[in-house]
């Protein structure tokens, strides 16, 4: 296994670098936007203005990057209320691990990190992978990506790590890359990008993923989620950039100008939107966009 491959640290470092690339005025407007999403409870709000643990995990990342200290104690209390994640869906277990990554272990009860990690195994499938959906026979690329990221965030060893490689080989889509689930007809950019990083992690070949990913770049500079999409989106673009950064850095250098232009075109006064048809900014897409800008620095 590739011991120096840490998903969250790479993403966070890239987002910090991306933030530094912005002008002082742009930085301040983003900081004000992020601060505006912090509720009195310490949680960060979703687009409906409600507490959202998933969004909070990205808000905490942005707060660390931007030096935001608003309601810090309340945020810690909010996270403690989640305890070790009992009863939370898989996506929120992953979000909890992302959030706690920025706190010392003494912020939690002894053993809480390992207890949170145990919840990930509830979604472990018979093929040795993980699926974000419960009670499924086969794992998914996204579920497995989140599992490894979460174990790393919690500084926990991954059980039966050797099963991952074989499981990945059985998840290819009909067009020989990776789609959303086992048996998918067509590959998707996020899934194939994540698979590239997972294959890199288990030290398996991934060149076939790189060539397919490069073909998914749209004329606007971003990357399509699937080949049939008429426009790019931020998250597909950033996942592709992260995969190429590891798997084909020279290829990423060739397209970094067009990628940067696309990402900056998604910037509004108060954050980044997800795609050209989206008029709403949020902290998740803002975090992704900043990471993308940092990855092509």
The residue ranges of every structural domain in the chain are: 7-295
pLDDT of amino acid 209: 96
In the prediction, which pLDDT does 41 show? 97
The count of C-alpha atoms lying within 13 angstroms of the C-alpha of 186, restricted to the half-sphere facing its C-beta, is 10
**Residue 289 confidence (pLDDT):** 98
Which pLDDT score is estimated for 171? 95
Q: In the prediction, which pLDDT does 262 show? A: 98
Q: What is the DSSP letter of 158?
A: P
| 161 vs 131: CA distance, rounded Å | 15
Nearest to 207 by CA among 163, 246, 255: 246
> How far is 76 from 53, CA to CA, in rounded Å?
12
In the prediction, which pLDDT does 2 show? Answer: 55
Residues in the chain: 297
Cβ(191)–Cβ(226) below 8 Å: no
- Count Cβ neighbours within 10 Å for each residue of 141-162 and write b for 16 or more, e otherwise: bbbbbbbbbbbbbbebebeeee
d(CA 56, CA 61): 9
What pLDDT, on the 0 to 100 scale, is given for residue 147? Answer: 97
**Res 108: pLDDT:** 65
For 177, 188, 201, 235, 287, the CA distances from 272, given in Å and listed in that order, are 29, 22, 30, 11, 8
pLDDT by position in tens, the chain (length 297): 555 678 899 999 999 999 999 999 999 999 999 999 999 999 999 989 999 999 999 999 999 999 999 999 999 999 999 989 999 999 999 999 999 988 765 566 667 889 999 999 999 999 999 999 999 999 999 999 999 999 999 989 999 999 999 999 999 999 999 998 899 999 999 999 999 999 999 999 999 999 999 999 999 999 999 999 999 999 999 999 999 999 999 999 999 999 999 999 999 989 999 999 999 999 999 999 999 999 998
Classify residue 211 as exposed, middle or buried by CB count within 10 Å of its CB (0-12, 13-18, 19+). exposed
Q: pLDDT per residue over 77-136, tens digit each?
A: 999 999 899 999 999 999 999 999 887 655 666 678 899 999 999 999 999 999 999 999
The pTM of this model reads: 0.95
pLDDT value of residue 174: 93
Enter the CATH code of domain 7-295: 1.50.10.20
Alpha carbons 142 and 96: distance in angstroms, whole number: 17
């Amino acid at each position: 296994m590739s011991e120096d491959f840490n998903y969250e640290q790479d993403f966070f470092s890239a987002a910090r670098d991306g933030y530094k690339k912005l002008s002082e005025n742009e930085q301040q407007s983003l900081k004000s936007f992020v601060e505006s999403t912090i509720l009195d409870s310490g949680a960060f709000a979703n687009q409906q203005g409600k507490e959202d643990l998933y969004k909070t995990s990205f808000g905490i990342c942005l707060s660390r990057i931007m030096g935001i200290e608003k309601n810090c104690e309340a945020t810690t209390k909010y996270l403690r209320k989640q305890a070790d994640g009992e009863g939370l869906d898989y996506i929120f277990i992953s979000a909890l691990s992302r959030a706690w990554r920025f706190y010392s272990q003494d912020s939690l009860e002894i053993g809480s990190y390992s207890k949170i990690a145990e919840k990930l195994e509830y979604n472990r499938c018979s093929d040795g992978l993980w699926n974000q959906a419960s009670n499924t026979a086969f794992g998914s690329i996204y579920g497995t990506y989140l599992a490894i990221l979460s174990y790393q965030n919690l500084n926990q060893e991954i059980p039966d790590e050797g099963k991952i490689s074989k499981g990945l080989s059985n998840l290819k889509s009909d067009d020989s890359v990776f789609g959303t689930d086992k048996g998918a007809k067509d590959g998707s950019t996020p899934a194939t990008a994540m698979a590239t990083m997972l294959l890199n992690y288990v030290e398996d070949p991934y060149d076939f993923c790189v060539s397919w990913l490069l073909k998914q770049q749209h004329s606007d500079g971003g990357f399509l989620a699937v080949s049939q999409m008429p426009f790019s989106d931020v998250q597909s673009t950033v996942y592709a950039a992260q995969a190429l950064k590891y798997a084909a850095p020279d290829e990423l250098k060739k397209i970094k100008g067009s990628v940067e232009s696309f990402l900056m075109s998604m910037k509004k006064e108060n954050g980044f939107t997800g795609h050209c048809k989206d008029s709403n900014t949020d902290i998740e897409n803002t975090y992704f966009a900043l990471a993308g800008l940092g990855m092509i620095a």
